Amino acid sequence: RKEVEQDPGPFNVPEGATVAFNCTYSNSASQSFFWYRQDCRKEPKLLMSVYSSGNEDGRFTAQLNRASQYISLLIRDSKLSDSATYLCVVGRMDSSYKLIFGSGTRLLVRP
């Protein structure tokens, strides 16, 4: 079992739709949580950090449930430019601090 699990999708939604992605992590020692975005044939880029209290950045809302080891990302009013792969990422200390990436959820927003 992978340490960070995501539904690979693809999620195919019309413009303007609301879409939610979920992610679970297995290591309770995980300390930090992020969503990264990766466009086709590009590098991953940080979308937002995720805090226990939940946080919002424009149309994007992220939630963390430590008890259930569950992270979510909600995208409201989807735009064509939101089409990408969304990577759930957790950070924890091992010999040093490191990031563990999920394999990503692919989103396709259609006109």
Q: Quick one: DSSP state of residue 80?
A: G
Structure tokens at 74: 């909600």
Binding flags for other proteins, 75-94, as an x/- string (CB under 8 A): ----------x-x---xxxx
Binding flags for other proteins, 2-41, as an x/- string (CB under 8 A): x----------------------------xx-x---x--x
Check binding of 49 to other proteins (CB under 8 A). yes
Candidate residues 13, 17, 74, 99; the one interacting with other proteins per rule CB under 8 A: 99
d(CA 31, CA 10): 28
Mark 42-73 as b/e (b = at least 16 C-beta within 10 Å): eebeebbebeeeeeeeeebbbbbeeeebebbb
Region binding other proteins by CB under 8 A among candidate stretches 13-21, 57-65, 76-84, 100-108: 100-108
Angle at 31 between CA 45 and CA 34, to 5 degrees: 20
CB closer to other proteins out of 69 and 76: 69
Instruction: Evaluate whether 73 touches 104 at the Cβ level (below 8 Å).
Output: no
Question: Which residues in this chain contact other proteins in the complex, by CB under 8 A?
Answer: 2, 31-32, 34, 38, 41-46, 49, 85, 87, 91-99, 101, 103-104
